[in-house]
Each structure stands twice: as C-alpha cells, then as structure tokens.
Structure 1
Amino acid sequence: MSLSHHLLTEAYNNGWSNHRLLKACMGLSPTDFEATRTSFFPSIKATLNHILTVDWFYIDALEREARAEEPHPDYLAFFQPEQPFGTCEGLKAAQLQSDLRLVAYCQQLKDDSLGRIVTIQRGDMVQRETRERLLAHLFVHQLHHRGQVHAMLAGTPAAPPQLDEFFSEMDREARAADLRELGWREEMIWGSRASEQAAAGRHRPAQA
C-alpha cells in the first residue's frame, strides 16, 4: 500500500470512528451530554465541539494549500464560538460533513505530493508543515479526544462503542452496518484489494 493510500484509509477510519462514537452519544439526554465531567475538556459536549472546530481549522489549511490560496487570515475564526453546537444531533451532522471533506482531500493525494508545505497563519506566528505531518497530527488529535469522550461515556447510560481497531478483516461484519449508514463500501477504502482480502479471510484456517 502506498503512503498516500494509507492516509486515505486513515481518513475513512477517522470518519467511521466519529460516526460510531457520535451515534452512541445520540443516546444521551441533554443533561448527560452537557454534564460536567473529569477530562481535558469538562464535558462530552465541549470535547466533541473541540474535535470539530480543530478539524475545520486544519482541513481549511490543507484545502487552501491544495488550491494554491493564501493561508486563512484569522485562525481564531474557527473557534468563535468555542462550542458552535449545543446538541449532539447538530454536531453529528457537522462532523460528518467535515469528515467527508477530509476523505475528499485525501482521495487526491499522491505520494510525490506529500512533502508539499502547508502554511498556517497563527497571529504573529507562521506554522509550516508538510502535508504528511499535518495529516498525521490531525488523525492523532482526533484519536486523543475521541478516547476522552469514550472514557466519559462510561459514566453515562450510553455504552461506549468499540473504537480500538483499524478496519481489521476479522471485524468486517461488525462494521458493515456503520459503513452502509455512511454510504461507504470496503472497496472504497481498500480498492480492488478488498474482495481479495475478504476471500482470503473466508479461506483462512481458524487459529487455536
């Protein structure tokens, strides 16, 4: 697998993980969604809003560089207000649109373009990162804060969903319903290798 294709699979996995997590959060009452809890951000609502606004910030920078446009002049605009969505329903819809933007961005990547520099204007400071490093940072940021939401869900009536696997063949059927809800197929993620992997999985001998 090429590195650019791997980054695309990361984008799909990121979107699927957000879908699964937010679907679980939809089962929360408004009180549980907003309740003060022990974490880096003080509530599930605050943490999910942070994931989304940081996505907006970085995806905008990636898209601007791809279009050969200047960096956004006011990076703080993505965080005003700090929590743009008051309900999980609104967050879920907005996060999906953000995730689809990220997938679309990664679909056009080529290995020889990953070293291109993305520039972000942070007030008086200018941040410059390669596409590869900025995407890796964005995926780690999402993982970090999804884990916090997952832990906070353990103190609510909503069961924390499984999020600790990366599209393993063994769990193909377990994620099938989620992918259908997203309108995605294994072939979209893995290309022509998907059917070969599925066939290999069916014929692989069971391990003791």
Structure 2
Amino acid sequence: MLQKHFQMLARYNTLANHRIYDTCTLLSDVELKRVRPAFFKSIHGTLNHIMVGDRIWLSRFTGQETPFIKLDTILYEDFAELSAARTLEDRRIENFAANLTEEFIKGTLKYVNNQGKLYEDPIELLITHFFNHQTHHRGQIHDMLTQTEIAPPVLDMHRIINP
C-alpha cells in the first residue's frame, strides 16, 4: 500500500514543480537570483538545493555512489538548463516510485551524510523525508515569490492531484 502512496507523492512532486517552474519563468534572472531572507539565499539557490537533495537521496536509494556535494551548490546557473534538468529528475523520481517494492520499503538504508556521519534508517522514513524535503523547500520558494510582483501558484496537494 505504501507503494501507491509514494507514487502519489512522486506525481504531486512533478506537478508542484511544474507549477513552481512555470511561475518562475515569469521572473527575470535578477529576480530569481536576488538575495532574500532565505536559507539558500534566493529562489534560484533554493531550486538548485532541491535538485541537490533529490540527486543525493536517489543515489542512496538506488545503490549508486553518492556524490559529495555541498548542499548550497548551484548545479545550474542558467534557469532554462535548471528547468530542463528538473523535468528529467522528476521523471527519474516517478520511475523510482513506480518500481518500489514492499520489501525495499520495509528495509533499512546505511548511508554517510555530508558531514561524514554514518546512519542507518528505515527506508520508509527516508522516502517520506525525501518528499517532505521537497515540499518544505517549495514552501520557501512560495514565500519568496510573494516578495515579487508575481503571484505564487497554488500548491495544495488536493488541488493539484484532483483539480
């Protein structure tokens, strides 16, 4: 049953990202990169951070080597390139969710965080964190959009999944 739940969260993630990116295309590069009172300093920085987190967690979940990358790394300076990469990453996330098994979800995962500390956590919790992390930072972007001339999009799950 959790597979279906995580598949719904993956779909929501894709649709919410689509709305955020569509809205951000209405902003100038200066406005996207304007320093604001936010942890990752700007809309552009926060969008990049979400991508960094997604790539780290997907590599852990899929048993690939996890790249060491600072959490505030700007992977893409160009917004159009970032947007194209986001589309591909969201497909990867939906594909990951589509192929989840109950056995995998009920397991644990050993990983080393960015500070070099070893953890072992339930995968069910980590996948939940993975989607919560995206939602948390999209909320920050939503707030930063209220500081611009552009209205932020509706991101309520029940309005996106079941419009």
Tell me, yes or no, whether TM beats 0.5: yes
- The CA deviation string for residues 65-115 of structure 1, in whole angstroms up to 9 with x for no partner, is xxxx6x53xx42x33881111122111111121111111111111223311
Unaligned 5+ segments in structure 2 are: none
Write the mapping of 1:162-201 to structure 2, written as runs, cut at 5 A. Answer: 162-166=154-158, 167-169=160-162, 171=163
* Corresponding residue for residue 198 of structure 1: none
Q: Using the alignment, how far apart are the partners of 1:136 and 1:121 within structure 2?
A: 18
Sort the Cα spacing of 1:138 and 1:81 in 2 relative to 1 into closer, same or farther, 3 A.
Answer: closer
SS at match of 1:127: strand
* Corresponding residue for residue 105 of structure 1: 96
* Corresponding residue for residue 58 of structure 2: 59
| AA partner of residue 12 (structure 2) | N
**63, 69, 73: which is aligned to 1:82?**
73
* Corresponding residue for residue 202 of structure 1: none
Residue 54 of structure 2 corresponds to residue 91 of structure 1: no
Q: Would you say the 8 A contact 2:21–2:83 is kept in 1?
A: yes
Sort the Cα spacing of 1:84 and 1:125 in 2 relative to 1 into closer, same or farther, 3 A.
Answer: same
* Corresponding residue for residue 33 of structure 1: 32
Q: 1:3 deviation in Å?
A: 1.4
SS at match of 1:79: coil
* Corresponding residue for residue 41 of structure 2: 42
Q: Which one has the largest radius of gyration? A: 1
**118, 121, 131: which is aligned to 1:129?**
121
SS at match of 1:119: strand
- The CA deviation string for residues 109-131 of structure 1, in whole angstroms up to 9 with x for no partner, is 12233112222123642122222
Unaligned 5+ segments in structure 1 are: 172-208
Residue 38 of structure 2 corresponds to residue 19 of structure 1: no
- The CA deviation string for residues 50-75 of structure 1, in whole angstroms up to 9 with x for no partner, is 111111100111111xxxx6x53xx4
Q: Would you say the 8 A contact 2:110–2:119 is kept in 1?
A: yes
* Corresponding residue for residue 137 of structure 2: 145
Moved over 4 A (4+): none
Residue 151 of structure 2 corresponds to residue 159 of structure 1: yes
Q: Using the alignment, how far apart are the partners of 1:57 and 1:145 within structure 2?
A: 16
- The CA deviation string for residues 133-160 of structure 1, in whole angstroms up to 9 with x for no partner, is 1110011111111001011111212221
What count of residue pairs does the alignment treat as equivalent?
161
Identity between Structure 1 and Structure 2 (%): 29
Residue 14 of structure 2 corresponds to residue 9 of structure 1: no
Q: Would you say the 8 A contact 1:41–1:47 is kept in 2?
A: yes
Q: Using the alignment, how far apart are the partners of 2:56 and 2:150 within structure 1?
A: 30
Question: When the two structures are superposed, what TM-score results if normalisation uses the length of structure 2?
Answer: 0.89
- The CA deviation string for residues 8-65 of structure 1, in whole angstroms up to 9 with x for no partner, is 110111111111101110111011011111122211111111111111100111111x
RMSD between aligned alpha carbons? 1.9
